[in-house]
């Protein structure tokens, strides 16, 4: 009688830090006595947001359009306050999602707690602008078009405008 060779046990690769941390998806699932930050990919260290003046005039919206012409900049409104949000990772965030300057981290980081942090937030805002075209369209609805362009159709409105042609010499 022949015996079937036992399959060699395969060593599974170590889970990535992301996989380890994604086991707790909601703060309600956090095991008692554990630190929420140990289950997070440091969401709060990967952006900064600053309150900005509420735009009231057409030129204010054009200023916001300028923000949005930049990479990783977005603008949102939360409870009637306008914010500039820049998606950028802190230079001191380490690969294991821990702070590299924990002992000397800025006051704003010290004061931030897990009580109301964005650990399981869905980031849903009624007014959230990611592109210059979106804020332009919003302002156009309030003030009328800033730039008239012959042949511009309504369905083209979220596209970039055609650049002005160079003069023919």
Single out the residue of 43, 47, 83, 138 in contact with ligand SF4 (rule: CB under 6 A).
43
Distances (CA, A) of 139 to 51, 93, 143, 153, 154: 19, 37, 6, 17, 15
- Residue 90 found at the interface with ligand SF4 (CB under 6 A): yes
Please give the angle made by the CA atoms of 28, 34 and 29, to the nearest 5 degrees.
20
Minimum CB separation from ligand SF4 for residue 78, in Å?
16
Query: Exactly one of 101, 142, 146, 158 binds ligand SF4 (CB under 6 A); which one?
Result: 101
Of residues 96, 118, 161, 162, which one binds ligand SF4 by CB under 6 A? 118
The answer to whether 108 and 114 are in contact (CB under 8 A) is no
Binding residue count for ligand SF4, defined by CB under 6 A: 20
User: CA-to-CA distance for 106 and 136, rounded, in angstroms?
Assistant: 36
**Burial state string for 107-120 with b = 16 or more CB within 10 A and e = fewer than 16:** eeeeeeeeeeeebe
Stretch that binds ligand SF4, among 54-62, 70-78, 92-100, 132-140 (CB under 6 A): 92-100
Where does this chain bind ligand SF4 (CB under 6 A)? 36-37, 40, 42-45, 90, 92-93, 99, 101, 105-106, 109, 112, 114, 117-119
């Amino acid at each position: 009688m022949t015996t079937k060779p036992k399959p060699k046990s395969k060593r599974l690769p170590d889970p990535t830090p992301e996989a380890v941390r994604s086991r707790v998806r909601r703060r309600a699932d956090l095991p008692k006595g554990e630190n929420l930050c140990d289950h997070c990919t440091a969401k709060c260290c990967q952006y900064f947001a600053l309150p900005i003046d509420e735009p009231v005039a057409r030129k204010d919206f054009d200023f916001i359009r300028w923000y949005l012409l930049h990479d990783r900049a977005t603008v949102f409104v939360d409870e009637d306050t306008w914010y500039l949000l820049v998606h950028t990772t802190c230079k001191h965030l380490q690969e294991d999602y821990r702070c590299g300057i924990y002992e000397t981290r800025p006051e704003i980081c010290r004061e931030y707690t897990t009580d109301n942090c964005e650990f399981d937030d869905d980031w849903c805002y009624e007014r959230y602008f990611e592109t210059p075209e979106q804020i332009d369209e919003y302002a156009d609805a309030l003030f009328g078009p800033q730039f008239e362009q012959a042949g511009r159709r309504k369905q083209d409105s979220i596209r970039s405008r055609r650049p002005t042609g160079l003069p023919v010499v």
